[in-house]
């Protein structure tokens, strides 16, 4: 049975936005904008996995005025890397991230003053027992947890695992803030890693990159100067478009960059 699934996009000063996806053969679906600045529409979807994007009249200065551009949902929790489409999962008539069930979230963990931290880049840590020269994945880290315990490690600090372009990076160029890096594995794989760490008394710390984003992050294409400084404040130390935490939208009484990053921090804490 199909259920109405809502798609929304916060783009308060853009003239138009439409939804496109595999569920419509990539034909445009109209979206209506409310006074809160959100474009919304609902689509009847059966349980399953679907790909989609938004088509938006951009306000970013590097496009023609009101040019229609296809962008990935800034809040997308999964990206199909080959097609660069957002992915949505529907189960029991609801949008879900995954179906992972935590097993060890009641285990005691070391206090802050007791931590022995191992900073880890998942892709370079280990290719795993099946192919030690392959790119590392979350599951390969799980295989080496006993080794870390023997070293006296009781906390691992993951270098950024938000989705970045390509399959190899230190992660300091995040493109999609709500999606986990697909080359490392699925969201279930990351949760399994965290769960197995907790089972062994290992805390997990996640690096968060909130100074800037990668240049083609969706918000840059929707309305660049609404979320970012117009240009780098330090051209000699330019990691990417820099979030403007000082900008206040008086009409909607919100700090756009603060809201986006606040939503993101809550998502990672609640899900992982």
d(CA 131, CA 8): 42
Residue 142 pLDDT exceeds 70: yes
Yes or no: say if 164 and 174 are a contact pair by the CB < 8 Å rule: yes
Residue 131 pLDDT exceeds 80: no
Tell how strand 79-80 and strand 3-10 pair up.
unpaired
Tokens in use for 18? 């439409």
**What is the per-residue pLDDT for 121?**
95
Q: What is the mean pLDDT of the chain?
A: 95
The DSSP annotation for 129-144 comes to SS-TTSPP-HHHHHHT
The fraction of the chain above a pLDDT of 90, given in percent, is 89
- Position 201 confidence tier, pLDDT thresholds 50, 70, 90: very high
**What is the per-residue pLDDT for 235?**
81
Overall average pLDDT of the 222-243 stretch: 91
Catalogue all structural domains in the chain, each as residue range(s) with its CATH number: 3-96 (2.60.40.10), 112-209 (3.30.750.90)
Contacts of residue 117, Cβ cutoff 8 Å, sequence gap at least 6: 153, 155, 156, 157, 205
Where does residue 174 fall: left (phi above 0), alpha (psi -120 to 50 degrees), or beta otherwise? beta
Residue 135 pLDDT exceeds 90: no
Overall average pLDDT of the 115-131 stretch: 84
- Cα–Cα nearest to 184, from 215, 158, 153: 158
Return the beta strands (E) in 11-58 as ranges.
Answer: 17-21, 29-30, 32-33, 38-45, 48-57
**What is the per-residue pLDDT for 47?**
97
Yes or no: say if 230 and 258 are a contact pair by the CB < 8 Å rule: no
d(CA 27, CA 103): 42
**What is the per-residue pLDDT for 128?**
60
Overall average pLDDT of the 133-147 stretch: 89
Overall average pLDDT of the 51-55 stretch: 98
**What is the per-residue pLDDT for 133?**
61
**Which of 10-19, 119-128, 159-168 is modeled with the greatest confidence?**
10-19
Overall average pLDDT of the 104-119 stretch: 96
């Amino acid at each position: 049975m199909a259920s109405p699934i809502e798609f929304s996009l916060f783009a308060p000063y853009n003239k138009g936005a439409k939804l496109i996806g595999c569920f419509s053969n990539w034909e445009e679906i109209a979206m209506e904008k409310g006074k809160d600045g959100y474009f919304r529409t609902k689509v009847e979807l059966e349980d399953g996995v679907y790909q989609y994007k938004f088509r938006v009249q951009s306000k970013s200065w590097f496009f023609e005025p009101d040019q229609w551009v296809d962008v990935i949902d800034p809040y997308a929790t999964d990206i199909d890397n080959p097609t660069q489409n957002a992915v949505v999962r529907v189960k029991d008539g609801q949008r879900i991230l995954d179906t992972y069930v935590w097993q060890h979230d009641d285990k005691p963990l070391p206090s802050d003053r007791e931590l022995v931290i191992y900073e880890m880049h998942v892709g370079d840590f280990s290719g795993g027992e099946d192919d030690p020269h392959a790119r590392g994945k979350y599951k390969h880290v799980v295989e080496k947890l006993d080794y870390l315990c023997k070293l006296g490690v009781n906390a691992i600090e993951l270098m950024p695992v938000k989705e970045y372009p390509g399959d190899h990076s230190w992660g300091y160029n995040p493109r999609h803030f709500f999606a986990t890096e697909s080359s490392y594995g699925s969201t279930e794989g990351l949760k399994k890693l965290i769960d197995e760490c907790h089972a062994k008394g290992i805390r997990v710390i996640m690096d968060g990159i909130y100074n800037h984003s990668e240049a083609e992050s969706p918000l840059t294409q929707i309305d660049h100067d609404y979320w970012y400084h117009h240009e780098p404040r330090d051209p000699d130390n330019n990691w990417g478009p820099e979030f403007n935490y000082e900008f206040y939208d008086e009409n909607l009484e919100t700090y756009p960059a603060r809201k986006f990053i606040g939503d993101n921090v809550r998502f990672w804490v609640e899900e992982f």
